[in-house]
Amino acid sequence: MATGYSVVLVRHAQSEFNRDKIYTGWCDSDLTSDGVEEAKNAGKILCEYGFEFDLAFTSVLKRAIKTLYFIQDELDCHWIPVTKTWLLNERHSGKLQGRSKVEVLEQYGQEQVHRWNHALHEQPPPLAETDEHWNGNDKRYAGLPFAPVGESLQQTLQRSLQFWHNLVVPALKAGQKPLICGHGCYLRNLLKHLDSNCSTGKKQLETPNAAPFVLHLDSDMRPANLQFLNRHGNDIVLFKRSRDS
């Protein structure tokens, strides 16, 4: 394939909050034992495909950091530089953080929950400073340009693109091969932003835990296609850019 660049993106493996169906956001939920195995399997898949990386990016949340660690373990590449940044964090879920998704659905109703999950400018209820899940005093977020009370999808997209253009694009143009281990919202936001030039064949891309994706880009940094990698070379092309774009 004659594309100019490629980048591997992996969502973190299963966390305790994923397993228990709890809104996670910026809560620092750890990996489950199944999640550890998922992360190792992602590394094995990338190893089977012969991937090598020059650097890696991840969030400041342990479920992504540990997923990256186990992937690096399988690839024997702990020596590559790793940049951890809050720009790659999951969407901040506001007051919903740490709450059961079932309870939230019962309290607010399906229509409101759907708006929070899908409407671009809809913000979740703000997180109070007195809440046990308040992140404002966390050293990881010192100097944050806003109070961490909750984000809309648009706000999450803005920082996702800031990360992409300021860190990933320069690395690609320098000839480096980056690995990004983050959160589902980042991958969905990035692809949704690029969707005017792409045809996914479905309304919303599913991003399973610890599933490696390869985003191929042309020389102008426009997406050419997206591959979902499986074991034993059974990859799936999820979208291709339409010819007239």
Annotated binding site for substrate: 11-18, 24-25, 63, 101
CA–CA separation, 14 and 219 (whole Å):
35
The annotated binding site is made up of 11-18, 24-25, 63, 101
Secondary structure of 27-59 in HEC code, one letter for each residue: CCCCECHHHHHHHHHHHHHHHHCCCCCCEEEEC
Q: Is 98 left (phi over 0), alpha (psi -120 to 50) or beta?
A: left
Write the DSSP assignment of 93-126 as a string of letters. Answer: -GGGTTSBHHHHHHHH-HHHHHHHHH-TTPPPPP
Instruction: Say whether 12 is catalytic.
Output: yes
User: Among residues 12, 133, 183, 216, which one is catalytic?
Assistant: 12
Instruction: Say whether 90 is catalytic.
Output: yes
User: Among residues 38, 52, 78, 90, which one is catalytic?
Assistant: 90
Task: Evaluate whether 88 touches 186 at the Cβ level (below 8 Å).
Answer: yes
CA–CA separation, 234 and 64 (whole Å):
25
Task: Evaluate whether 210 touches 18 at the Cβ level (below 8 Å).
Answer: no
Positions annotated as catalytic residues are 12, 90
